[in-house]
């Protein structure tokens, strides 16, 4: 049954006002300098909304949020959407060129920026038609900028919501840029309702006593659900880490605040295992569910995590365009190497280049549909037309499905390679490499020379001192013992780290450029 969506619906009312009205004293946010209750967060969000209204911010106008994971992020997001404005969260740890792009693309009239990003943002904002820049964490007011505290000083903590339709635009989320220039996916007020009922409650079974902790940040679609509106949908608590995620800091927060549901991306699960191997204290005894997304979770990492911590990792796949998960593993039924099966209220199909469904077990292009699908890319109708056909969203991912309905990720369409006339999935080769005790991370891309395509591997070692021709041969033989010879990397390059987006996805397009 599809999610029941009322005609009038405001996400701030549902995800903040509703739990705050029922239990205002319950802790909503942990992990910062001080806990925040639902009542305190609602008051701050109302002040933001009132300040926006007083500043003549009209429904539909964009408010750029350049904030780390903190109470101010949530207050700004909910305050903006409550008055009908459009929240646009972006990475607070990026560069001026990125901020200039976001400002030019979404045409925000107002920006709320944390002091940690101000130097880069100030450069980007020069010459842009911004009415105001509000700075969180500033010691004093700067020229033509407002301190957060001063901006909210006279604002009311009582706020009537704008009468928004469920299909009104609520927020823009920029794609991660793992394949190139980010695109702003337009999402409506109803979309969070759909994903929270379908995945957070329908698959994970979140409950009010849970504490969620997401390594992925709130500006990222995956993290926005995990760290904000999923726990708020059931009146649970969230643990926030405003810093750039590092294994030692994350492990310290896990030990101190004892989350029950933990979310991360595959590369971070690998980093946790590496830290534990090096002697870091790692206690996941409070965690009942560990979830992975962002990229396919290698079976080897899944197996290693289970052996060390006794926890299965629930792998899944979602996208910025669909807002969150549409295929996911079920608790107690996870299969290493598989993303699971369709999330309730979502449909998926694997098709060939002509759009026809492929037989079971064959690789094809994944298409998905569901009520949380994005309305389109902001100001990019041609790209929208390529990504959406009727109700179906074309993911750009290659998959196959087995006889029991489990889906297996093979790579992005432009990551797949044909070697000797046969398809090679980078993930399959990467997983084989990860089984070697010296390999911490691996990425495999195609390199074409004289019209012939061959797989090339980029590897991060646990001990960089082992790099050399002897280890290259050893790794190639290691893969040859596990996979057909045409899948063996023809070259292996050692790197201190793999290029990644801010959300932890490997930027394979950069490796392809290096290989070429």
pLDDT of residue 171: 98
Query: pTM here?
Result: 0.86
Over residues 272-276, the mean pLDDT reads 93
Cα gap 276→297, rounded to integer Å: 19
Cross-strand partners of 86:
62
Answer whether residue 79 is part of any domain. yes
Percent of all residues in the chain with a pLDDT value above 90, rounded to a whole number: 78
pLDDT of residue 53: 97
Answer whether residue 470 is part of any domain. yes
pLDDT tens-place string over residues 459-500 = 999 887 788 999 999 999 999 998 888 899 999 999 999 998
Answer whether residue 315 is part of any domain. no
pLDDT of residue 515: 61
CATH of the domain at 431: 3.30.300.30
Helix locations, 83-144, DSSP H = 96-106, 118-125
Using the 3D structure, point to which of 157, 188, 219 is the last residue of a domain. 188
Answer whether residue 475 is part of any domain. yes
Cα gap 249→470, rounded to integer Å: 36
pLDDT of residue 412: 76
Q: Binning pLDDT at 50, 70 and 90, where does residue 509 land?
A: confident
Domain total in the chain: 2
Of 140-149, 191-200, 214-223, the least confident: 140-149
Residue in 5, 501, 17, 7 with CA at minimum distance from that of residue 268:
501
Mean pLDDT over the full length of the chain: 93
Q: Range of 135's domain?
A: 11-188
Cα gap 466→381, rounded to integer Å: 50
Of 93-102, 184-193, 386-395, 504-513, the least confident: 504-513
Answer whether residue 314 is part of any domain. no
Answer whether residue 24 is part of any domain. yes
Please give the torsion angle defined by the CA atoms of residues 290, 296, 298 and 303, in that order, rounded to the nearest 10 degrees: 20
Are 15 and 74 within 8 A, CB to CB?
no
Q: Does 484 or 88 have the greater pLDDT score?
A: 88
pLDDT of residue 416: 77
- Helix and strand totals (H; E) in the chain: 17, 27
Helix locations, 241-348, DSSP H = 247-257, 266-277, 299-309
Residue in 230, 232, 229, 312 with CA at minimum distance from that of residue 269:
312
Are 41 and 52 within 8 A, CB to CB?
no
Using the 3D structure, point to which of 148, 163, 188 is the last residue of a domain. 188
Over residues 265-293, the mean pLDDT reads 94
Q: Binning pLDDT at 50, 70 and 90, where does residue 77 land?
A: very high
Answer whether residue 219 is part of any domain. no
Cross-strand partners of 29:
36, 238
Using the 3D structure, point to which of 125, 159, 188 is the last residue of a domain. 188
pLDDT of residue 417: 82
Q: For residue 419, how many other CB atoms are within 10 A of its CB?
A: 18
Q: Is the pLDDT of residue 367 over 90?
A: yes
Please report how the helices 299-309 and 266-277 are oriented relative to each other, as an axis angle in degrees rounded to 10.
50
CATH of the domain at 18: 3.40.50.980
Answer whether residue 431 is part of any domain. yes
Q: Is the pLDDT of residue 179 over 60?
A: no
Q: Which residue has the tokens 């994350």?
A: 250
pLDDT of residue 296: 83
């Amino acid at each position: 049954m599809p999610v029941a969506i009322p005609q009038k619906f405001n996400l701030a009312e549902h995800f903040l006002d509703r739990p705050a009205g029922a239990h205002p004293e319950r802790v909503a946010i942990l992990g910062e300098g001080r806990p925040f209750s639902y009542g305190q967060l609602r008051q701050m969000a109302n002040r933001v909304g009132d300040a926006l209204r007083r500043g003549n911010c009209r429904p539909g106008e964009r408010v750029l949020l350049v904030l780390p994971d903190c109470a101010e992020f949530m207050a700004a997001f909910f305050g903006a959407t409550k008055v009908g404005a459009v929240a646009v969260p972006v990475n607070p740890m990026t560069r001026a060129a990125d901020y200039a792009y976001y400002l030019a693309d979404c045409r925000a009239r107002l920006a709320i920026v944390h002091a940690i990003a101000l130097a880069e943002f100030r450069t980007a904002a020069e010459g842009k038609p911004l009415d105001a820049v509000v700075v969180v964490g500033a010691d004093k007011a700067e020229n033509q900028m407002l301190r957060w505290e001063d901006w909210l000083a006279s604002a009311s903590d009582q706020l009537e919501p704008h009468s928004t339709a469920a299909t009104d635009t609520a927020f823009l989320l920029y794609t991660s840029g793992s394949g190139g220039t980010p695109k702003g996916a337009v999402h409506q007020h109803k979309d969070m309702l759909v994903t929270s009922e379908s995945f957070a409650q329908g698959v994970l079974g979140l409950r009010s006593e849970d504490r969620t902790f997401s390594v992925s940040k709130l500006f990222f679609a995956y993290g926005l659900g995990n760290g904000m509106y999923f726990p708020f949908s059931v009146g649970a608590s969230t643990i926030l880490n405003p810093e750039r995620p590092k294994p030692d800091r994350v492990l310290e927060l896990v030990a101190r605040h004892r989350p029950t549901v933990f979310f991360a991306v595959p590369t971070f699960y690998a980093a946790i295992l590496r830290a534990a191997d090096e002697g870091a204290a790692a206690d996941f005894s409070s965690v009942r569910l560990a979830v992975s997304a962002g990229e396919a979770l290698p079976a080897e990492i899944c197996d290693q995590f289970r052996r060390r911590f006794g926890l299965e990792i629930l792998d899944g796949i979602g996208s910025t365009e669909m807002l969150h998960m549409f295929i996911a593993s079920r608790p107690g039924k996870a299969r290493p190497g598989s993303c699971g099966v369709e999330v309730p209220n979502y449909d998926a199909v694997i098709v060939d280049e002509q759009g026809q469904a492929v037989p079971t077990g064959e690789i094809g292009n994944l298409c998905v549909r569901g009520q949380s699908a994005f309305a389109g890319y902001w100001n990019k109708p041609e790209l929208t037309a390529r990504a959406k056909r009727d109700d179906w969203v074309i993911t750009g991912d290659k998959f196959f499905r087995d006889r029991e309905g489990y889906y297996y990720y093979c790579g992005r369409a432009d990551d797949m390679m044909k070697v000797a006339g046969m398809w090679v999935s980078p993930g399959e080769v990467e997983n084989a490499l990860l089984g070697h005790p010296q390999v911490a991370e691996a990425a495999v891309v195609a390199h074409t020379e004289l019209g012939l395509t061959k797989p090339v591997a980029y590897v991060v070692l646990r001990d960089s001192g082992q790099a050399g021709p002897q280890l290259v041969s050893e790794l190639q033989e290691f893969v040859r013992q596990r996979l057909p010879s045409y899948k063996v990397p023809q070259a292996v390059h050692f790197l201190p780290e793999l290029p990644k987006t801010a959300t932890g996805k490997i930027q394979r397009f950069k490796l392809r450029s290096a290989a070429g």
